A and B are shown apart, each in its own frame.
Chain A
Amino acid sequence: MQEKPNLDYIEALAAGEEDFKKKFINILKEEFPEEKEEYMDNLNRDLPREASLNVHKLKHKLSILGLSESYVLAVDHEEALREGNREYEGKFLKILENIERFLKTI
């Protein structure tokens, strides 16, 4: 079963500041789709090394959303892509879709 994203880290960071929480979630909602799109574009153009840089940035968002298991896979995927290996591509895409769904609910 896929792990669920959560807002625990953001809540802790906000320390009760609702304005910050809203602002930060808006940043995620804006930035995540752009990063995902760039990642997909690099894969579609068969540029795995460039895609690994996108994964590097995306994995920070995984940790922000409490996706610790997914983060481990992202680390492997980033390293594999750097070597031109796309074996984790499918699993990573599911993680991205999981986040995409979650961001629509908050």
Chain B
Amino acid sequence: MNCIIVDDEAAARAVVAQLCSQMDDLDVIEEFPSAIDAIKFLNQHQVDVVFLDIHMPGFTGFDFVQTLKNPPKVVLTTSDRNFAIEAYEYEAIVDYLVKPLTKERFEKCLQKVKNALVKQPVQTGDNGQAETGQDLYINIDRRLIKLKFDEIQLIEARGDYIDVKTVKETYRVHSTLKKIKEKLPENIFLQIHRSFIINFTKIIDIEDNSVLIEKNVIPISRSNRPELMRRLNLL
């Protein structure tokens, strides 16, 4: 894992850097006394985690997180306990460390970061291919696996997870139907039930209130049926 440290206090940066150096799999790639410089850096570099002071001149840690379009995981470091509740309102913020930091607490924090990275929801890749809308990257055990849209047959909600079914395999991802729906092209995918999104180019047949895709029979909810029928090329 790599990280950056953002704190206008040199002593505070030194503390975090020293703790990072004592961890097996954490590299500090840059330190910033200024939030603005850190934001510029993050716009150009892939970073796993940011150790971020809440109080910086003219800029709070929360401003920082809100400024970033795709924030990495963030650990807030502060001398003030009063912001803990607010911190957890931000999805990107995974932990809240009160100064002075200790090694024991830092180790726990790092475990939280690792867990958060593993559970990272479905995301599009940031290379050119993903931007063309031809494929989707899903995060499985910290591996980003590329799936072409036309390989996906259907997606089923499973509590806090979704099953992404392709011809060859089913991938279980920590995410929601709502999130993945935003990433899928509307001309191919359609939600036909509160628990199912289908690739309607893969439909074999439709019978009463269900569709068949390969060997999967998927229910159609009454409210979604008109939209499905509208999309089909009916004779």
The CA-CA distance from A31 to B33 in the complex, in Å, is 13
Q: Is the CB of A59 within 8 A of B79?
A: yes
Q: Is the CB of B79 within 8 A of A60?
A: yes
Task: Please provide the 8 A-B residue pairs with the shortest distance between their CB atoms, ordered closest to farther.
Answer: A63-B100, A27-B10, A60-B99, A60-B79, A27-B11, A31-B10, A64-B100, A24-B14
Main secondary structure of the interface of A (DSSP, over half): helix
Cβ-defined contact, B10 with A13, below 8 A: no
Q: A13-B15, A20-B18, A24-B14 are in contact. Are A31 and B9 (CB under 8 A)?
A: yes
Q: How many residues of A contact B (CB 8 A)?
A: 21
A-B contact count (CB 8 A): 47
- Chain A positions 25 through 52: 1 when the CB is less than 8 Å from some CB of chain B, otherwise 0: 0011011000000000000000000000
B115 to chain A, nearest CB (A): 25
User: B-contacting residues of A (Cβ < 8 Å)?
Assistant: 9, 12-15, 17, 20, 23-24, 27-28, 30-31, 53, 56-57, 59-61, 63-64
B19 at the interface (CB under 8 A from A): yes
Residue-wise interface mask of B (96-108) relative to A, using a CB-CB cutoff of 8 A (1 in contact, 0 not): 0001101100000
B9 touching A60, Cβ below 8 Å: yes
| Cβ–Cβ < 8 Å partners of B12 in chain A | 60
30 pairs from A and B in contact (CB 8 Å cutoff): A9-B100, A12-B102, A12-B103, A13-B15, A13-B18, A13-B19, A14-B18, A17-B18, A20-B18, A23-B14, A24-B14, A24-B15, A27-B10, A27-B11, A28-B11, A31-B10, A31-B11, A53-B57, A56-B79, A57-B8, A57-B55, A60-B9, A60-B11, A60-B79, A60-B100, A63-B79, A63-B99, A63-B100, A64-B11, A64-B100
